[in-house]
Amino acid sequence: MIPADIDLTRVPAHIACVMDGNGRWATQRGLKRTEGHAAGEEALFDAVEGALELGVKWLTVYAFSTENWRRPLDEVRYLMGFNESILVRRREELREKGVRIRFAGRRDWRVPKRLIKQMDESMARTAHCTTMTLVIAFNYGGRAEIVDAVKRIIEEGIPAHKITDKTIAQHLYLPDMPDPDLMVRTSGEYRISNYLLWELAYSELVFADVLWPDFRREHLIDAVRQYQARRRRFGGLES
């Protein structure tokens, strides 16, 4: 049930989440960091439920960044296997809920082939779903995305005088993805951390103190409440 003070006609169309704090959550409990990631799965699927109840059309989550390769090999390996396992175990449930799965990020040699296969399979199986799109930012970096866009623009031979904001936007990983209206980061860290650098230009930012494994749909709803209390001007004046 969505609380009555939430205006369902002004729900953000696109919410982007930074699922931060899994490691700290585990450490606080004397567990291994990887157990924090495992506990993050329930938070993710509760957030998906909340987004569906709210009528959000796009939900983007940061699952693995281009900087995360610097973590200990064990943790990187775990995250590769964990992402694959979530896709295999949960894509059918997402399909039944009308959730289309897409990915944003680099498909470089470091991403295991079997994970790429499951990513493709997950996209294919949910391609027809229209209730909501879940974008999984995987091996994603905001700077890498802009670099990749610039490379493709040059490769296509587009002359400098023809390049506008729109040209860049059309060469990002998911050109049809609308910019997020709201970005939520958990764990009390006030940073963007190379997430959707281009796309977040005018997004409202909400920082929640809760660590990601403790995040539930109520926290997402509260972020929407804060969003609805803000006045978005996009650099112009209040209308």
Catalytic residue IDs = 20, 68
Compute the least distance from the CB of residue 133 to ligand FPP, in Å. Answer: 13
User: Closest CB to ligand FPP among 17 and 182?
Assistant: 17
Strands, sheet with 14-18, edge to edge from the N-terminal-most edge strand: 99-104, 132-140, 58-65, 14-18, 182-185, 204-207
Min separation Cβ 22 and ligand FPP, Å: 4
Residue among 153 and 196 whose Cβ is closer to ligand FPP: 196
Name every residue whose Cβ is closer than 8 Å to that of residue 90 and which is 6 or more positions away in sequence.
Answer: 45
Rank residues 66 and 171 by Cβ distance to ligand FPP and give the closer one: 66
Measure the CA–CA gap between 105 and 64, rounded to whole angstroms: 9
Amino acid in the structure at residue 199: E
Residue 138, beta-bridge partner list: 64
Select the residue whose beta carbon is closest to ligand FPP and give its number. 23
Total residue length of the chain = 239
What is the smallest separation between the CB atom of 129 and ligand FPP, expressed in angstroms?
16
Task: Please state, in angstroms and rounded to a whole number, the distance separating the CA atoms of residues 177 and 202.
Answer: 15
Label residues 182-199 b or e (16+ Cβ within 10 Å = b).
bbbbbbeeeeeebbbeeb
- What is the rounded distance in angstroms from the CA atom of residue 166 to the CA atom of residue 149? 12
Q: Which residues contact 169 (CB under 8 A, 6 or more apart)?
A: 175, 198
- Of the two residues 41 and 167, which places its CB atom closer to ligand FPP in the complex? 41
Kindly list the residues in this chain that would bind ligand FPP in the complex (CB under 6 A). Answer: 19-24, 37, 40, 44, 61, 63, 68, 83, 86-87, 136, 187
* Least distance in angstroms from the C-beta of 2 to ligand FPP: 23
Q: For ligand FPP, which is the closer residue by CB, 44 or 54? A: 44
- The least CB distance from residue 82 to ligand FPP, in Å, is 6
Cβ burial of 124 (10 Å; 0-12, 13-18, 19+) is exposed
